[in-house]
Structure 1
Amino acid sequence: MNSELSIKDHLRLTSASDVYPDPRLMEAITIAHRVVAPVWPLNDFVAVNPALNFGDQPFGDGAGTLQAATGGRFMLSKGDLATAAADGRIPSQYVAMALEDLGLATRYAVDDIMQSLLSKESEDALAFWPSVADLARATGEKPWADFVTDQISSWAASYFPDNSAAVKAPWGTHPPFAAWRRYSQRDREPGFMGLKGFRQWAGTLDEDPLTLLTTVMERLNLPPSYLSPYFSRLLGSIRGWAGHARYREWHGDVPVAHSMVTALLAIRAAYDLALFELLPNERAADPWTMFLNRSEEPQRMSVDDAVLVAQTALELAEQDNFIAQLRDQRAIVRDVPRPSIQAVFCIDVRSERLRHAVEAEDPLAQTYGFAGFFGVPLSVLTKTAERRDHCPVLLSPTLHCTHTAHSPQYGEAASAWSGFRSGVVSAFAFVESFGLGAGASILKALSHRKAAPALPSVGNPDPLPPVDERTDLALRILKGMSLGDNLARLVLLVGHDATTENNPYAAGLACGACGGHSGAPNAVIAARILNDPEVRTRLADRGVALPSDTRFLAALHDTTTDDITFLPEPLWPESHVTDLDKAKAVFSAAGAATRRARAHGLGLTGKTVEPQIRRRSRDWSEIRPEWGLAGCNAFIAAPRARTYGMDLEGRAFLHSYDHTTDTEGGILELIMTAPLIVASWISYQYYASSIDNETFGSGDKTLHNNIGDIGVLEGASGDLRVGLPIQSVHDGMRLRHEPTRLRALIEAPTEAIDAVFDKHPDVKALFDHGWLHLTAIIDQGAAFYRYQPGGRWIETGAATPAVFAARAAE
Structure 2
Amino acid sequence: MSTESTIRDSIDDAAATVGSVWPIHSFVTANPLSGFEDQPFDEAVAQATDILGGRGYPSPETFRQALEREQIDREILEAELAEAGYEADPEALLDRMDTTVDADEAAEDTVEDRVDHVLTKWLSAFLDEGRAHWALPDRDLGFYGVFRNVAAYDTQIPDAGIVADLPATPVEAIETVLDPYPEAQWEAIFEEQLSALPGWTGFIKQRAEDGGEWQSRHPITLAGYLAVRLSLFDAVDADLSPAKSHTAEPNETDELSEAFLSAWEATYREELVDAVSEASEERADADDGRPDAQLVFCIDTRSEVLRRHLEDTGDYETHGYAGFFGVPMEYEGYNSEVSVEACPPIADTQHTITEHPTDGERQAEYDHLTGIREAAAEIVETIESNAATAYGFVESAGSGYGLALAGRTLVPGRVHDLFDSVDGRVPDEHEFCSPSVETLTLEEKVGYAETAFDLMGWDQFARLAVFTGHASETANNPYDSSLDCGACAGNPGGPSARVLAAICNQDAVREELRERGFDIPDDTVFLAGQHNTTTDEVDLYDSGVPESHAEELETLRSDLKAAREGATAERTRSVDDAVRETERKAADWAETRPEWGLAGNAGFVVGPGELAADLDLDGRAFLHSYDWTTDPDGDALEAIMTAPMVVTQWINCQYYFSTVDNAVYGSGSKITHNPVGNVGVYQGNGGDLMTGLPLQSLKAADDEPYHQPLRLSTVIHAPVDTVTDILADHEDVAGLLDNGWLSLTVVDPTQDHTAFHYAGELSWSPASKDVAAEPSAEATPAVADD
Return the TM-score normalized by structure 2.
0.83
The CA distance in 2 between the partners of 1:330 and 1:809, in whole Å, is 28
The CA distance in 2 between the partners of 1:695 and 1:505, in whole Å, is 17
Paired AA for residue 680 in structure 1: Q
CA displacement, residues 611-653 of structure 1 (integer Å, 9 cap, x when unaligned): 1210110112211110011111111101134322222111100
Q: Secondary structure at the match of 1:366?
A: strand
Residue 319 (1) aligns with residue 255 (2): no
- Structure 2 counterpart of 1:775: 745
The CA distance in 2 between the partners of 1:85 and 1:234, in whole Å, is 40
The CA distance in 2 between the partners of 1:259 and 1:754, in whole Å, is 43
Contact 2:608-2:625 at 8 Å conserved across structures: yes
Residue 30 (1) aligns with residue 3 (2): no
Q: CA deviation at 1:674?
A: 1.2
Q: Pick from 12, 37, 46 the counterpart of residue 64 of structure 1.
A: 46
Residue 577 (1) aligns with residue 556 (2): no
The CA distance in 2 between the partners of 1:40 and 1:489, in whole Å, is 40
- Structure 2 counterpart of 1:441: none
Residue 384 (1) aligns with residue 366 (2): no
- Structure 2 counterpart of 1:241: 200
- Structure 2 counterpart of 1:564: 538
The CA distance in 1 between the partners of 2:580 and 2:149, in whole Å, is 55
Q: CA deviation at 1:120?
A: 3.8
- Structure 2 counterpart of 1:440: none
Q: Secondary structure at the match of 2:272?
A: helix
Residue 620 (1) aligns with residue 589 (2): yes
- Structure 1 counterpart of 2:163: 202
Q: How many residues in Structure 1 have an aligned counterpart in Structure 2?
A: 717
The CA distance in 2 between the partners of 1:456 and 1:244, in whole Å, is 32
- Structure 1 counterpart of 2:521: 547
Q: Secondary structure at the match of 1:111?
A: coil
Residue 301 (1) aligns with residue 248 (2): yes
Residue 371 (1) aligns with residue 322 (2): yes
The CA distance in 2 between the partners of 1:673 and 1:90, in whole Å, is 32
Distance 1:243 1:776, change over 3 A: same
Q: CA deviation at 1:227?
A: 5.4
Q: CA deviation at 1:332?
A: 3.9
Q: Secondary structure at the match of 2:491?
A: coil
Contact 1:146-1:718 at 8 Å conserved across structures: no
Q: CA deviation at 1:344?
A: 0.8
TM alignment of 1:271-290, pairs within 5 A = 271-277=232-238
Contact 1:150-1:719 at 8 Å conserved across structures: no
Bigger mean CA offset, 381-390 vs 722-731: 381-390
CA displacement, residues 31-65 of structure 1 (integer Å, 9 cap, x when unaligned): 32112222111222211111122222211222122
Q: Pick from 786, 791, 798 the counterpart of residue 769 of structure 2.
A: 798
Aligned-pair Cα RMSD in Å: 3.4
Q: Secondary structure at the match of 1:614?
A: helix
Q: Pick from 305, 312, 325 the counterpart of residue 353 of structure 1.
A: 305
Paired AA for residue 160 in structure 1: L
- Structure 2 counterpart of 1:44: 26
Contact 1:474-1:526 at 8 Å conserved across structures: yes
Q: CA deviation at 1:504?
A: 1.1
The CA distance in 2 between the partners of 1:716 and 1:173, in whole Å, is 27
Q: Secondary structure at the match of 2:140?
A: coil
Bigger mean CA offset, 309-318 vs 200-209: 200-209
> Share of identical aligned residues, percent?
30
Q: CA deviation at 1:163?
A: 3.8
Q: CA deviation at 1:796?
A: 1.1
The CA distance in 2 between the partners of 1:300 and 1:182, in whole Å, is 41
Contact 1:786-1:794 at 8 Å conserved across structures: yes
Contact 1:467-1:535 at 8 Å conserved across structures: yes
- Structure 1 counterpart of 2:224: 263
Paired AA for residue 444 in structure 2: E
Q: CA deviation at 1:165?
A: 4.0
Q: Pick from 498, 521, 534 the counterpart of residue 508 of structure 2.
A: 534
Unaligned runs of 5+ in 1: 1-15, 100-104, 128-133, 191-196, 278-284, 426-452
Residue 173 (1) aligns with residue 140 (2): yes
CA displacement, residues 454-473 of structure 1 (integer Å, 9 cap, x when unaligned): 99656322534343432233
Q: Pick from 437, 449, 455 the counterpart of residue 480 of structure 1.
A: 455
Q: CA deviation at 1:767?
A: 0.6
CA displacement, residues 396-415 of structure 1 (integer Å, 9 cap, x when unaligned): 33333222579999995272
Contact 2:163-2:232 at 8 Å conserved across structures: no
CA displacement, residues 166-196 of structure 1 (integer Å, 9 cap, x when unaligned): 5332241334334334444322235xxxxxx
The CA distance in 1 between the partners of 2:606 and 2:26, in whole Å, is 27
- Structure 2 counterpart of 1:443: none
Q: CA deviation at 1:564?
A: 0.9
Q: CA deviation at 1:698?
A: 1.5
Q: CA deviation at 1:664?
A: 1.4
Distance 1:37 1:299, change over 3 A: closer
Distance 1:624 1:454, change over 3 A: farther
Q: CA deviation at 1:778?
A: 1.0
Contact 1:166-1:424 at 8 Å conserved across structures: no
Distance 1:86 1:468, change over 3 A: closer
- Structure 2 counterpart of 1:156: 123
Distance 1:656 1:714, change over 3 A: same
- Structure 1 counterpart of 2:711: 741
Q: Pick from 373, 378, 401 the counterpart of residue 416 of structure 1.
A: 378
The CA distance in 2 between the partners of 1:170 and 1:766, in whole Å, is 45
CA displacement, residues 774-802 of structure 1 (integer Å, 9 cap, x when unaligned): 11111277211111122210111325365
- Structure 1 counterpart of 2:487: 513
Contact 2:297-2:323 at 8 Å conserved across structures: yes
Bigger mean CA offset, 51-60 vs 773-782: 773-782
Contact 2:713-2:743 at 8 Å conserved across structures: yes
Q: Secondary structure at the match of 2:708?
A: coil
Distance 1:91 1:454, change over 3 A: farther
The CA distance in 2 between the partners of 1:611 and 1:389, in whole Å, is 33
Bigger mean CA offset, 701-710 vs 162-171: 162-171
Residue 20 (1) aligns with residue 3 (2): yes
The CA distance in 2 between the partners of 1:252 and 1:564, in whole Å, is 35
Q: Secondary structure at the match of 1:548?
A: coil
Q: Secondary structure at the match of 1:495?
A: strand
Residue 691 (1) aligns with residue 660 (2): yes
Distance 1:421 1:346, change over 3 A: farther
Unaligned runs of 5+ in 2: 358-362, 388-425
TM alignment of 1:174-189, pairs within 5 A = 174-189=141-156
Q: Secondary structure at the match of 1:237?
A: coil
The CA distance in 1 between the partners of 2:549 and 2:716, in whole Å, is 36
Contact 2:475-2:586 at 8 Å conserved across structures: yes
The CA distance in 2 between the partners of 1:456 and 1:745, in whole Å, is 39
